[in-house]
Structure 1
């Protein structure tokens, strides 16, 4: 063989060896890269999260705007003039109690002097509270301020969502709380000579005004308010019985809320109103609702959105179907004083007839494939799939029950894997 041919063969062998080394190196690098990627993915894969299955239920609700009806009496002024309350807003009075006085003309300077005296009393009380000299008054302030903070939070939440329709109700609630706080502070002995002197002066000025004023007496026992809306004489229990959806809609549109009585009144004009404070009706029209959702005598819970309160003991007084919904009247003896200055309220009413009970799991624990629903359980440290039937669900929870014959029991205290995407069936999970 010629030397030239041998050189060609040697070069080919070297080329094959070089290509083989390159292939082996490339394969090794690829394998190492895949190994690293797999390791990183496994480390970054979320660990299974567990939760015990517990009994639960989902209660459906219906949203509606309710008209609040009470048996109320309006007290009228017998004389014209400037008036002053003699009972705190929202307190209970007895029949024949003096609740206000209408001061005859010519006593303006005495009224101004009395108002200045009351303002000085409030300033000194606040000063003593800030100094820590009145623990009982401090407790009253903290209690009322907590309620005020709750209303302010609701106001801010509505403002952030562009909801301004409840502002008048919020303002009225704040005024009531502040007036109640001032009334309770008057009953506390601050043990301060300045306050004692001002209190004596206030009582003296009040007595002078009382001698030159016409009294307004309560004609019935109940809760007193110096805010009216002009609908008191038209709305009572008998009006609830005869109400129609059209009447309700008209009243809701007409209602502009309770407004304070002006500083001066004329003879025959309203000064105050009194409610028996024993019971109130909430009348609403539930759109697209069914009559069997409300049974006469049935109990419901009403959440009043603007107040942030739940009224648990509400009973159905009447229910009637009309057009594409039902007209419902509920009565309750709860939170009467809290809603005393409300004629209209946005409410969320529970529907016990649509309550679903069963086993509760988080919605994210459900695995839905090909029209079937299942969950993953932690069975003896391994992920096992179990078929279930979803009875109901909301945004966060699902009510389920076992489906068919499954070797893995779905029951109370079973351990469900909350994030099923983190496992496959048979994985060791603990």
Structure 2
């Protein structure tokens, strides 16, 4: 009997290819569905409210309320207060001692002495009035109302005294209020005689000056050519020494409650400072709260003036600082950029009425 011979089946490549194609399409649609669900923006989403902050870095000029104390005496000097110490009025700062060394005699007429008495009283008063006003504002901002009534009483009394001084000497009313000088010690110390030097006002004590205290002042902020500040050679000098002679500066007192910084900004940035009040200033990693005091034109650019009451390290001696100014300008609904469209050249978000 003959044996049947079985034919080998050929692979059906067409069916395999078709199956792979169907499987590939299935995977494609699954992946596409996943991308549509999880990665692509939804056609609708919940809109939340928020704000947009704008931040820029500047080299800013520091303007302070300052008083420089000098002397007409000569002799050895001893210091009792260190750099950067906050002191109250009448705190002993130093002591001048005549050890018998040769002294320089400075003769002062009686008329000049009388005139200086009036001027010195005025200088101290104008400093204290500014300081009291700043302290009252600081207490109000800090919601510490207990001391405000007594501060207001002191302020009213000093304002009355100031009015009397200005009536007595009209010339004094034209002086710059944010800078003043005070001389302590007239005449000559006898051999072995000592004179204690007390702070004529409260504030921060510093023994460093840059020589621009009488010009780079708060009251002079509109008269400064800010384009030249970057080229200004601000070289600090120390007032600490072993002995003093007539007309030597002893120390500087800086207002501890209020100061300003000014920065040159581009004209495009001006609008970001208008119609806002509170801003944040970051100096050496520390964030300070401040207020926009003014924005004005300076040649081809503009100057923004920020008032600060919180301190950064060495604010009492630094004249120029690198800082970032953050302002919160825009508040409203946060919309994804994919939701904006362009209709007739106008870009925005449009409401569709059902």
- The answer as to 2:13 corresponding to 1:18 is no
Summarize the alignment of residues 1-400 of structure 1 with structure 2, pairs less than 5 Å apart.
18=10, 21-32=12-23, 35=26, 47=38, 52-61=46-55, 63-76=57-70, 78-79=73-74, 81=76, 83-86=78-81, 89-94=84-89, 96-101=90-95, 215-250=196-231, 253-256=232-235, 261-262=239-240, 264=242, 266-267=244-245, 268-289=247-268, 299-316=277-294, 319-335=295-311, 339-349=315-325, 355-361=329-335, 365-367=336-338, 371=342, 390=348
Q: Displacement, 1:57?
A: 2.5
- Which structure has more relative contact order (CA 8 Å, sep 6+)? It is 2
Does structure 2 retain, via aligned residues, the 8 Å contact 1:277–1:337?
A: no
Does structure 1 retain, via aligned residues, the 8 Å contact 2:288–2:310?
A: no
Could you list the per-position Cα deviations for residues 73-101 of structure 1 after superposition, in whole angstroms to 9, with x for gaps in the alignment?
2233644546433367331320x431123
Counterpart-to-counterpart distance in 2, 1:276 and 1:241: 20
Does structure 1 retain, via aligned residues, the 8 Å contact 2:204–2:256?
A: yes
Counterpart-to-counterpart distance in 2, 1:42 and 1:213: 91
Q: Displacement, 1:303?
A: 0.8
Change (3 A) 1:92 1:37: same
Where 2:14 maps in the other structure, the secondary structure is: helix
Identify which range, 83-92 or 224-233, moves more after superposition: 83-92
Counterpart-to-counterpart distance in 2, 1:44 and 1:351: 38
Counterpart-to-counterpart distance in 2, 1:234 and 1:274: 16
Identify which range, 267-276 or 30-39, moves more after superposition: 30-39
Counterpart-to-counterpart distance in 1, 2:341 and 2:46: 26
Change (3 A) 1:46 1:24: same
Q: Displacement, 1:291?
A: 6.0
Could you list the per-position Cα deviations for residues 248-307 of structure 1 after superposition, in whole angstroms to 9, with x for gaps in the alignment?
445xx3224x56544645434444210233432222221234766656x97342413325
Q: Displacement, 1:405?
A: 1.7
Counterpart-to-counterpart distance in 1, 2:296 and 2:319: 22
Counterpart-to-counterpart distance in 2, 1:344 and 1:272: 20
TM-score (norm 2): 0.54
Counterpart-to-counterpart distance in 1, 2:276 and 2:24: 68
Q: Displacement, 1:27?
A: 2.7
Where 1:367 maps in the other structure, the secondary structure is: helix
Counterpart-to-counterpart distance in 1, 2:241 and 2:321: 28
Change (3 A) 1:292 1:29: closer
TM-score (norm 1): 0.46
Q: Which has the higher helix share?
A: 1
Q: Displacement, 1:243?
A: 1.8
Does structure 2 retain, via aligned residues, the 8 Å contact 1:100–1:216?
A: yes
Counterpart-to-counterpart distance in 2, 1:24 and 1:337: 80
- Cα RMSD between the aligned structures? 4.4
Change (3 A) 1:42 1:299: closer
Where 1:240 maps in the other structure, the secondary structure is: coil
Counterpart-to-counterpart distance in 2, 1:369 and 1:18: 60
Where 2:219 maps in the other structure, the secondary structure is: helix
Counterpart-to-counterpart distance in 1, 2:92 and 2:211: 22
Does structure 2 retain, via aligned residues, the 8 Å contact 1:223–1:337?
A: no
Does structure 2 retain, via aligned residues, the 8 Å contact 1:62–1:286?
A: no
Does structure 1 retain, via aligned residues, the 8 Å contact 2:292–2:304?
A: no
Q: Displacement, 1:44?
A: 8.4
Where 1:57 maps in the other structure, the secondary structure is: strand
